[in-house]
Structure 1
Amino acid sequence: MRTPLARLCGALLTLLLAVTVAACGGGGGTRASSSAAEGRLSIGAAAVPASLDPRKSAPYEALWVGLLYDALVTRTEDGSYQPGLAESWTFTPDGLELTLRTGVTFQDGAPFDAAAVKANLDYSTTHSANFSNQLTSLEAVEVVDPTHVRLRMSDSPAPMLGVLAGEAGMMISPAALSREDLSTNPAGTGAYTLDRFVGTELEFTAWDGYWNRAAVTLPGVDVTVLIDETARLRALRSGQMDAAFLTAEQVDEARTAGLQVTSSATADFWGVIVNIGQSEFADPRVRQAMMLGLDRPAIARNLFGDGCVPSAQPFRPDDWAYVPGLDDLPAAQYDPARARQLLAEAGLPNGFAFELQTGAMQSYVRTAEVLQAQWAEIGITVNLRPMENVQFVTARRNGEFEATVSVYQTARPDPSEFVKTFYVPGGLFNPSGYELPGLAELLVQSSSSPDLAVRTPPMHQIMTDVLNDGPPVMPICTRTTSYAYRDNVHGLSVAPLFDSNLSRVSVDPR
């Protein structure tokens, strides 16, 4: 069954936010025989995954996690939904009913069936996971028979297909749900097993027991993490790897060096989260002033070239949640004089100071430095704090920051989940409970139907109201992502919405 959505954007993978992990392990089951001579893909990544456990992984790590774990629903490149571990689905008056694929086993030999789905979803709703807020409307999971499971929900199930296409829908063997070692000893139904995860090196090999093995063309994936962006491209140019993630400013250099480049618009954006429980950010006039103090076109042009589209909203123009004309509103303009006036009205004629946390990667620090300079022009002093990824990610998730600049996803798993995460009390990136009157009601309306004609107007009203109020997350520009690769690689493309798409790549033996 396919439920069409508007075309959404691709995935940012050049800026994985992660921690350095020293570990090793295997995924179990029978591995396909392969070697470097048989065309494994060697790829240079930007950071070590925080975890390969879908319940603990960072959003940008879905490229690797999806090699090990299949989801109930598959999201296609145009943003529509197709069968995954669920062959079909039907919307019911109080939720969703799934018809499951038969003949599927987990890599530990356990059968995949309705009982396994119930065990996974029940576990996720009673234990903490990075996607817990995506399942708050799931009231009950009922096994109808081994191939049918019914999800009963308190709210409309419209966003649930997107949720089930992401980490929340990635099925883990029931016997492994309580294990803490899934990052190094996975137990999914995915196309690959994990051979090795040690420091900055990861190795995956195609699994002969995979239910759709005939569709997997790539025998293996070898990942080497090089946080230094210049070193990563240099390693690709020298032939040490087949492909690598690029920053926007490296695209021309890669092409000049004779490398192939593939790019896609991405469903995320550069932005700054301010913690309204700290500093002066609780006053809407301060947030409005900070928005007016951002010269987005200058930031995009000077830092990213054509690789980031300046915008005061988080969604791209080809997303149904994008609001036409929003960037023309007064609240979205670059207006330093009005910004200084608003600060004075807020009782801050001499401005104020705050700490801006940023990742240690070069592109992060450069972006933070430009923000520092622009806000200085309206009287705000920004003290930069570059942080290693483990500190950076942990502080953001725990709400231990005054402000933090990073890249944030918008349409994965669904725009409504973005709203819940950033603008609704209890959201993962809303540490001090930002709340806007009327927003919750609009969100219910936007989630009440799978019909985009129903969903779009209230979502557009949410985005307009948040902008005018002074958003707690301040968009700068929406991204384009690029990979460079050598001419022995075929079929490599940027993964839309961060979903894993490497299995159909092929690599000529070297």
Structure 2
Amino acid sequence: MNDRVRRCLAVVLTILMAVVVAACGGSQAGDSGRPRLAFGAAAIPASLDPRQVSPYDAQLAGLLYDSLIKRDTAGAYQPGLATEWALSEDLLSLDLTLRTGVTFQDGAPFDAAAVKANLDAAKDPATTLAGQVGPISEVEVVDDTHVRLRFSEPFSPILGVLAGEAGMMISPAALGSTDKAKTPPGAGPFTLDSFNGGTIRLSAWDGYWNKDAIRIGGIDITVFLDESARMRALRSGQIDVAGIQPQQIPEAESGRLQTVSADTADFWGVIVNTGHPQLGNPDVRRAMMLAIDRRAIADNVFAGGCTPSAQPFSPGDWANRPELDASPAAQFDPARAKQLLAEAGVPDGFSFELQSNTSTTAQQLTQVLQAQWAAIGIDVVLKPMENVQFVTARRNGEFEATMSVFITSRPDQSQFVKNFYLPDGIFNPGDFEVPGTAEQLAAASASSDVAVRQEALHRIVGDVLEAGPPVFPICARVSVWAFREGVQGVSISPLFDPELGGISVDRS
């Protein structure tokens, strides 16, 4: 055999080996020698910038940007970039001790000056964080490893805020950049190799301060908008782990996949813009709430894997008010709904547009809502939208109504009230307000006693329900992840903190 033939055979064998590897599914070992994780996502992230990211996309952003405080799956606060903290008794200041020896991925040191620069920048109204850090009146650099935050009012939610997007630290040199999707300057466990629409590639960063806790060489994320396609990718081994819907559990387990589920702090629901001529009428909103058959939706759309509820806070959350779902305003009562529409001056109904993303479940749910509201004379025009466009329209208040899943307790239960129930809230374009809500919220934030905070939040959600809410909760969500054999360490964070780094992959 001559050299030319040998070279040709070597090329052919190389190609064949590549084909075989691809056909076996899953991602291969990263530069570290550890296997890479193939993850199936449900939507293209609108951003990976902590200051612009949606709450669900924070699960990915947190892989690139470490936060000052971390939260475990039980919701307890743990050290992150801050190793210790002390909240004053009057809740007007917080002292942080920072981890030493940490650098950002661009080589800049992480220190007290970096924390100050980040928290000062977060106050910019152009970010999604301004409402979260509003009570921070001053960030004082005590020395390189100590920072003191001062508040304009008692601020008990601060630990949750610093465990969320506002606590994700960005290299100060990049705070003015708007192109962090390509070169994220964080201090997290992974670096971003590429972000091309529906595919994202991350690699483990060797300079990470806690790199021994990361058990994979990287993460290859593929977006599957279609839930059936995501399931096929799981069953074929194309991906290792992905979120699925509760109604898909039997299919997953019949395909020799394992599943894990948990109640999460979010719900399926609809926001209405109270600036709309009819949707601004409290009786119309009350009627629309009464026309929703939540039990039928939970049973038929989610196979029982979603708890029917007319309040935003999930069962088990301290802010949940159990007796509220037994109140008349929370029932399925189409006859009373028609009566309320007549009293509101629209006995023949009206029309509005309902936006949603294009996922299978979202489409099924909007069609059910369309039928249930049609039964009381309301015409709903459905508008499915690509996810980035959908999220942007919702954030900008460019909707008459929008249906999705909404997070209630990240970074804190009080933030949901700010975002949805107070004027100028990011998801309150019609400036809905019940008198006294701001005062009750201030009382909730002025105490670390859960019983005191609970009393205030309970009053708020009760008053809002009676007033005809701008948000129509349908059911509290159960999150489900499915994964193949050889994948270990899969867990679900109830508050959507990043968990992928602790997963291990065995391809033997």
Using the size of structure 2 for normalisation, the TM-score is: 0.92
Q: Is the 8 A contact 1:279 1:354 kept in 2?
A: no
Structure 2 counterparts to residues 433-444 of structure 1, below 5 A = 433-444=431-442
Give the alignment's Cα RMSD to 1 decimal: 1.4
| CA–CA separation in structure 2 for the residues paired with 1:182 and 1:391 | 19
Out of 490-499 and 168-177, give the one that drifted further. 490-499
Structure 2 counterparts to residues 300-449 of structure 1, below 5 A = 300-449=298-447
Secondary structure of the equivalent of 2:156?
coil
User: How far is the alpha carbon of 1:284 from its aligned partner?
Assistant: 0.8
The number of residue pairs the alignment matches comes to: 478
Equivalent residue for 1:9?
none
Superimposed CA distance per residue, residues 452-500 of structure 1 (whole angstroms, 9 cap, x where no aligned partner): 0221101100010001111100100010111111111011112221100
Equivalent residue for 1:192?
190
Q: Is the 8 A contact 1:68 1:190 kept in 2?
A: yes
| CA–CA separation in structure 1 for the residues paired with 2:46 and 2:388 | 8
Superimposed CA distance per residue, residues 239-275 of structure 1 (whole angstroms, 9 cap, x where no aligned partner): 2121222122211100011111111111100111110
| CA–CA separation in structure 2 for the residues paired with 1:126 and 1:260 | 44
Equivalent residue for 1:156?
154
| CA–CA separation in structure 2 for the residues paired with 1:486 and 1:80 | 29
Equivalent residue for 1:62?
58
| CA–CA separation in structure 2 for the residues paired with 1:53 and 1:38 | 27
42, 56, 59: which one aligns with 2:38: 42
Q: Which amino acid aligns with 2:482?
A: A
Equivalent residue for 1:76?
72
Q: Which amino acid aligns with 1:331?
A: A
User: How far is the alpha carbon of 1:36 from its aligned partner?
Assistant: 9.8
Superimposed CA distance per residue, residues 368-421 of structure 1 (whole angstroms, 9 cap, x where no aligned partner): 010011111111111111122232112111111111111100010000000000
Q: Which amino acid aligns with 1:104?
A: V
Q: Is the 8 A contact 2:225 2:358 kept in 1?
A: no
Q: Which amino acid aligns with 2:30?
A: S
User: How far is the alpha carbon of 1:198 from its aligned partner?
Assistant: 2.0
Secondary structure of the equivalent of 2:176?
coil
Structure 2 counterparts to residues 118-157 of structure 1, below 5 A = 118-157=116-155
Secondary structure of the equivalent of 1:157?
coil
Equivalent residue for 2:6?
none
User: How far is the alpha carbon of 1:232 from its aligned partner?
Assistant: 1.3
| CA–CA separation in structure 1 for the residues paired with 2:393 and 2:204 | 36
Q: Which amino acid aligns with 2:477?
A: R
Runs of 5+ consecutive residues of structure 2 not aligned to the other structure: 1-28
97, 107, 110: which one aligns with 2:108: 110
Secondary structure of the equivalent of 2:104?
coil
- The answer to whether 1:476 aligns with 2:470 is no
| CA–CA separation in structure 2 for the residues paired with 1:159 and 1:331 | 30
| CA–CA separation in structure 2 for the residues paired with 1:227 and 1:428 | 26
| CA–CA separation in structure 2 for the residues paired with 1:226 and 1:417 | 30
Secondary structure of the equivalent of 2:39?
strand
Out of 43-52 and 425-434, give the one that drifted further. 43-52
- The answer to whether 1:85 aligns with 2:78 is no
Superimposed CA distance per residue, residues 61-114 of structure 1 (whole angstroms, 9 cap, x where no aligned partner): 122111111111111111121111111111124221111111111111111111
User: How far is the alpha carbon of 1:438 from its aligned partner?
Assistant: 0.7
- The answer to whether 1:183 aligns with 2:181 is yes
Equivalent residue for 2:252?
254
User: How far is the alpha carbon of 1:331 from its aligned partner?
Assistant: 0.5
| CA–CA separation in structure 2 for the residues paired with 1:90 and 1:457 | 25
Q: Is the 8 A contact 1:218 1:502 kept in 2?
A: no
Out of 232-241 and 433-442, give the one that drifted further. 232-241
Out of 34-43 and 416-425, give the one that drifted further. 34-43
Superimposed CA distance per residue, residues 141-194 of structure 1 (whole angstroms, 9 cap, x where no aligned partner): 111111111111112221111111011110000011111221110111101111
Runs of 5+ consecutive residues of structure 1 not aligned to the other structure: 1-32
Structure 2 counterparts to residues 292-303 of structure 1, below 5 A = 292-303=290-301
Q: Which amino acid aligns with 2:334?
A: P
Secondary structure of the equivalent of 2:56?
helix
User: How far is the alpha carbon of 1:37 from its aligned partner?
Assistant: 6.9
Equivalent residue for 2:227?
229
Equivalent residue for 2:48?
52
Q: Is the 8 A contact 2:259 2:481 kept in 1?
A: yes
| CA–CA separation in structure 1 for the residues paired with 2:255 and 2:386 | 31
Q: Which amino acid aligns with 1:284?
A: P
Secondary structure of the equivalent of 2:501?
coil
Equivalent residue for 1:24?
none
Q: Is the 8 A contact 2:373 2:379 kept in 1?
A: yes
Secondary structure of the equivalent of 1:193?
strand
Secondary structure of the equivalent of 2:502?
coil
148, 169, 173: which one aligns with 1:171: 169
Out of 412-421 and 275-284, give the one that drifted further. 275-284
Secondary structure of the equivalent of 1:152?
strand
User: How far is the alpha carbon of 1:306 from its aligned partner?
Assistant: 2.5
Greater Rg over alpha carbons, structure: 2
Equivalent residue for 2:463?
465
Q: Is the 8 A contact 1:442 1:462 kept in 2?
A: yes
Secondary structure of the equivalent of 1:399?
coil
| CA–CA separation in structure 2 for the residues paired with 1:186 and 1:277 | 38
Out of 185-194 and 148-157, give the one that drifted further. 148-157
Structure 2 counterparts to residues 208-227 of structure 1, below 5 A = 208-227=206-225
User: How far is the alpha carbon of 1:196 from its aligned partner?
Assistant: 1.9
Using the size of structure 1 for normalisation, the TM-score is: 0.92
Q: Which one has more relative contact order, counting CA pairs under 8 Å at least 6 apart? A: 1
Out of 328-337 and 218-227, give the one that drifted further. 218-227
Q: Is the 8 A contact 1:37 1:509 kept in 2?
A: no
| CA–CA separation in structure 2 for the residues paired with 1:446 and 1:63 | 27
| CA–CA separation in structure 2 for the residues paired with 1:222 and 1:383 | 37
Q: Which amino acid aligns with 2:383?
A: R
Equivalent residue for 1:286?
284
| CA–CA separation in structure 1 for the residues paired with 2:228 and 2:277 | 36
Indicate how the Cα distance of structure 1 residues 366 and 38 shifts in structure 2: closer, same or farther if over 3 A, else same: same
Out of 470-479 and 61-70, give the one that drifted further. 61-70
User: How far is the alpha carbon of 1:35 from its aligned partner?
Assistant: 5.0
Superimposed CA distance per residue, residues 208-248 of structure 1 (whole angstroms, 9 cap, x where no aligned partner): 11111122222211111121111111111112121222122
Percent identity among equivalent residues?
Answer: 58
